[in-house]
Amino acid sequence: EAGVAQSPRYKIIEKRQSVAFWCNPISGHATLYWYQQILGQGPKLLIQFQNNGVVDDSQLPKDRFSAERLKGVDSTLKIQPAKLEDSAVYLCASSLVPDGGGYTFGSGTRLTVV
Protein backbone atom coordinates (compact mmCIF):
# COMPACT_ATOMS: atom_id res chain seq x y z
CA GLU A 1 0.00 0.00 0.00
CA ALA A 2 1.40 3.39 -0.97
CA GLY A 3 1.84 5.79 1.91
CA VAL A 4 0.89 9.43 2.29
CA ALA A 5 2.83 11.49 -0.23
CA GLN A 6 3.92 15.04 0.51
CA SER A 7 5.89 17.58 -1.45
CA PRO A 8 8.16 19.37 -1.35
CA ARG A 9 10.35 17.80 1.36
CA TYR A 10 12.11 21.06 2.13
CA LYS A 11 11.38 24.70 1.43
CA ILE A 12 13.24 27.88 2.36
CA ILE A 13 11.48 31.19 1.78
CA GLU A 14 11.84 34.76 2.93
CA LYS A 15 9.28 36.26 5.29
CA ARG A 16 6.26 37.77 3.58
CA GLN A 17 6.60 35.34 0.66
CA SER A 18 3.95 32.72 -0.04
CA VAL A 19 4.36 28.95 -0.09
CA ALA A 20 2.20 25.92 -0.85
CA PHE A 21 2.42 22.32 0.26
CA TRP A 22 0.80 19.33 -1.36
CA CYS A 23 -0.48 16.06 0.12
CA ASN A 24 -1.85 12.92 -1.47
CA PRO A 25 -3.41 10.60 1.13
CA ILE A 26 -3.71 6.85 1.11
CA SER A 27 -6.29 5.75 -1.41
CA GLY A 28 -9.71 5.41 0.17
CA HIS A 29 -8.89 7.40 3.29
CA ALA A 30 -11.75 9.84 3.74
CA THR A 31 -10.17 11.85 6.54
CA LEU A 32 -7.16 14.09 5.94
CA TYR A 33 -5.29 16.23 8.45
CA TRP A 34 -2.65 18.93 8.33
CA TYR A 35 -0.50 19.27 11.44
CA GLN A 36 2.21 21.81 12.23
CA GLN A 37 5.17 20.61 14.29
CA ILE A 38 7.49 23.27 15.63
CA LEU A 39 10.91 22.06 16.80
CA GLY A 40 10.65 20.56 20.27
CA GLN A 41 6.85 20.45 20.22
CA GLY A 42 4.29 17.81 19.43
CA PRO A 43 2.24 18.05 16.23
CA LYS A 44 -0.57 20.61 16.42
CA LEU A 45 -3.69 20.19 14.29
CA LEU A 46 -4.26 22.93 11.74
CA ILE A 47 -7.19 21.50 9.81
CA GLN A 48 -9.18 18.28 9.46
CA PHE A 49 -11.10 17.32 6.31
CA GLN A 50 -13.74 14.65 5.92
CA ASN A 51 -13.86 13.97 2.18
CA ASN A 52 -13.83 17.52 0.78
CA GLY A 53 -15.54 19.17 3.75
CA VAL A 54 -13.81 20.91 6.66
CA VAL A 55 -14.48 19.27 10.03
CA ASP A 56 -12.19 21.37 12.22
CA ASP A 57 -10.13 24.44 11.34
CA SER A 58 -10.32 26.14 14.72
CA GLN A 59 -6.53 26.32 15.08
CA LEU A 60 -5.80 27.43 11.52
CA PRO A 61 -4.53 31.05 11.41
CA LYS A 62 -6.99 32.01 8.74
CA ASP A 63 -5.51 35.44 8.13
CA ARG A 64 -2.51 33.78 6.47
CA PHE A 65 -3.17 30.04 6.15
CA SER A 66 -5.61 28.37 3.78
CA ALA A 67 -6.23 24.77 2.81
CA GLU A 68 -8.40 22.96 0.36
CA ARG A 69 -9.21 19.41 -0.56
CA LEU A 70 -10.94 19.56 -3.89
CA LYS A 71 -12.60 16.32 -5.03
CA GLY A 72 -11.92 14.80 -1.61
CA VAL A 73 -8.55 13.34 -2.52
CA ASP A 74 -5.34 15.37 -2.46
CA SER A 75 -4.96 18.59 -0.54
CA THR A 76 -2.94 21.77 -0.55
CA LEU A 77 -1.97 24.00 2.36
CA LYS A 78 -0.92 27.56 1.62
CA ILE A 79 0.72 30.25 3.71
CA GLN A 80 0.57 33.85 2.54
CA PRO A 81 2.40 35.86 3.74
CA ALA A 82 4.82 33.73 5.74
CA LYS A 83 6.22 34.82 9.10
CA LEU A 84 9.39 33.69 10.85
CA GLU A 85 7.32 31.76 13.40
CA ASP A 86 5.85 29.60 10.62
CA SER A 87 9.17 27.73 10.43
CA ALA A 88 8.14 24.16 11.22
CA VAL A 89 7.48 20.75 9.74
CA TYR A 90 4.07 20.50 8.12
CA LEU A 91 2.75 16.97 8.40
CA CYS A 92 -0.13 15.55 6.42
CA ALA A 93 -1.92 12.47 7.73
CA SER A 94 -4.86 10.41 6.58
CA SER A 95 -7.13 7.81 8.10
CA LEU A 96 -10.15 5.72 7.14
CA VAL A 97 -12.12 7.12 10.06
CA PRO A 98 -11.36 10.00 12.46
CA ASP A 99 -11.23 7.84 15.57
CA GLY A 100 -8.51 5.53 16.61
CA GLY A 101 -4.84 5.23 15.96
CA GLY A 102 -5.08 4.38 12.28
CA TYR A 103 -3.38 7.57 11.18
CA THR A 104 -0.66 7.37 8.56
CA PHE A 105 1.60 10.38 8.36
CA GLY A 106 3.56 11.58 5.38
CA SER A 107 7.23 12.44 5.69
CA GLY A 108 6.39 16.11 6.09
CA THR A 109 7.55 19.35 4.53
CA ARG A 110 10.25 21.18 6.48
CA LEU A 111 9.69 24.92 6.06
CA THR A 112 12.30 27.50 6.99
CA VAL A 113 11.30 31.16 6.87
CA VAL A 114 14.25 33.56 6.88
Partner 1 sequence: RKEVEQDPGPFNVPEGATVAFNCTYSNSASQSFFWYRQDCRKEPKLLMSVYSSGNEDGRFTAQLNRASQYISLLIRDSKLSDSATYLCVVNQAGTALIFGKGTTLSVSS
Which residues make up the interface to partner 1 (CB under 8 A)?
33, 35, 40-45, 48, 55-56, 91, 98-103, 105-108
CB of 94 to partner 1, least distance (A): 11
CB of 71 to partner 1, least distance (A): 21
Closer residue to partner 1 (CB): 80 or 100: 100
Buried b / exposed e over 48-79, threshold 16 CB at 10 Å, is bbeeeeeeebeebeeeebbbebeeeeebebeb
- Is residue 23 within 8 A of residue 74, CB to CB? The reply is yes
CB of 41 to partner 1, least distance (A): 6
